[in-house]
């Protein structure tokens, strides 16, 4: 089992924030690709490009091939993330980015308590307060949206996003276990490789070769996803899951910005009010204790 060099909670928190921000920019690129060439093709070609980036990284860093136990964790997370991403981007093509992200915020709340069950972490007072503030923020955001009528496509999008959120909660816990036993480049490589293997069997019926104009966006999405995964893996290997999971709430801020810039999506007063509560929860979760929180190692079973 790999031992990770210690880092201060503040540094781990900052790196995790960067990872979430990069993922939000990638979400915008993937939404554009999904609307352009379909969700399946966007995920298939991004996974292929990410696998190529990963091979280069593994060779350049001379990363050893994982043991069987670690490989099982890679495969499990890759499959979970594959289905999670498929449902999420179906939802994102039918909903504004900020709203789609808001619906997924049930996942960190579930994962916060799964961390106690599966990783034997204690639930601290700050983590509980952060999760409650985040939940209140989501409630405010959705209250503004629910005042109107959902069209059928939006209902399908909301349902797909909520399915993705359940898988996302499981992914967050596996992410912590995976980060304990594998390097960041290894984590990112195998997630893309397993996702590509998951989607490949349907290629004869569903795959469409991307056009020249789509290739740069595919490469950008893959690069952003790879960099984000490395940041998150590094951070989760050096801080407790309960300290980092509330950082997921900051994705809403980035989604609102990217949705406005890339797709002209508007931000309501309810959205802004909810964002304040969400950010407040993240700041509370980031408060440092006087001593470094002991690192909890995940099971490789």
pLDDT digits (tens, 9 = 90+) for 213-270: 999 999 999 999 999 988 988 887 787 766 776 777 788 889 988 999 999 998 778 7
Q: What is the pLDDT of residue 289?
A: 39
> Burial of 65 by CB count in 10 Å (0-12 exposed, 13-18 middle, 19+ buried)?
exposed
- Inform me whether the pLDDT recorded for 6 exceeds 70: no
User: Cβ(281)–Cβ(129) under 8 Å?
Assistant: yes
Q: What is the pLDDT of residue 133?
A: 83
Question: What is the rounded average pLDDT of the residues 200-225?
Answer: 95
Q: What is the pLDDT of residue 298?
A: 30
239 vs 87, higher pLDDT: 87
Minimum mean pLDDT range among 37-46, 140-149, 249-258 = 140-149
- Inform me whether the pLDDT recorded for 103 exceeds 60: yes
Choose among 245, 237, 238, 227: nearest CA to 189: 227
Q: What is the pLDDT of residue 300?
A: 31
CA atoms within 13 A on the CB side of 93: 18
- Inform me whether the pLDDT recorded for 203 exceeds 90: yes
Overall size of the chain counted in residues: 301
Minimum mean pLDDT range among 24-28, 63-67, 116-120 = 116-120
Give 151's pLDDT tier (boundaries 50, 70, 90): low
> Burial of 295 by CB count in 10 Å (0-12 exposed, 13-18 middle, 19+ buried)?
middle
Q: What is the pLDDT of residue 31?
A: 96
In percent, the amount of the chain with pLDDT more than 70 equals 82
> Burial of 281 by CB count in 10 Å (0-12 exposed, 13-18 middle, 19+ buried)?
buried
Q: What is the mean pLDDT of the chain?
A: 82
Separation CA 289–CA 124 (nearest Å): 11
CB atoms within 10 A of CB 40: 19
Tokens standing for residue 59: 């060779």
Q: What is the pLDDT of residue 130?
A: 75
Tokens standing for residue 237: 């290997």
CA dist 265 to 160, 234, 259, Å? 20, 33, 5
Ordered DSSP codes for 273-301: HHHHHHHHHHHHHTPPPSSPPPPPPPP--
- Inform me whether the pLDDT recorded for 49 exceeds 80: yes
Locate the domains of the chain by residue range: 9-207+215-285
């Amino acid at each position: 089992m790999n031992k990770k060099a210690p880092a201060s909670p503040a540094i781990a928190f900052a790196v995790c924030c960067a990872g979430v921000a990069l993922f939000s920019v990638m979400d915008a690129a993937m939404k554009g690709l999904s609307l352009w060439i379909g969700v399946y093709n966007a995920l298939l070609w991004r996974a292929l490009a990410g696998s190529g980036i990963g091979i280069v990284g593994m060779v350049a860093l001379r990363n050893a091939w994982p043991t069987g136990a670690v490989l099982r964790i890679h495969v499990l997370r890759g499959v979970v993330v594959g289905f999670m991403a498929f449902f999420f981007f179906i939802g994102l093509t039918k909903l504004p980015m900020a709203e789609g992200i808001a619906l997924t915020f049930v996942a960190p709340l579930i994962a916060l308590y799964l961390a106690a069950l599966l990783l034997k972490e204690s639930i601290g007072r700050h983590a509980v307060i952060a999760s409650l503030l985040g939940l209140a923020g989501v409630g405010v955001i959705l209250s503004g949206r629910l005042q109107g009528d959902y069209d059928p496509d939006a209902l399908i999008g909301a349902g797909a996003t909520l399915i993705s959120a359940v898988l996302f909660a499981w992914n967050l816990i596996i992410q912590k276990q995976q980060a304990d036993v594998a390097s960041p480049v290894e984590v990112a490589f195998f997630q893309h490789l397993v996702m590509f293997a998951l989607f490949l069997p349907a290629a004869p019926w569903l795959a469409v070769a991307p056009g020249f104009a789509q290739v740069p966006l595919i490469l950008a999405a893959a690069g952003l996803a790879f960099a984000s995964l490395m940041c998150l893996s590094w951070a989760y290997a050096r801080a407790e899951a309960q300290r980092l999971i509330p950082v997921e709430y900051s994705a809403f801020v980035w989604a609102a910005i990217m949705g406005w810039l890339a797709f002209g999506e508007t931000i309501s007063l309810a959205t802004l009010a909810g964002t304040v509560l969400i950010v407040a929860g993240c700041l509370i979760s980031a408060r440092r204790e006087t001593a470094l929180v002991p690192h909890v190692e995940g099971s490789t079973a």
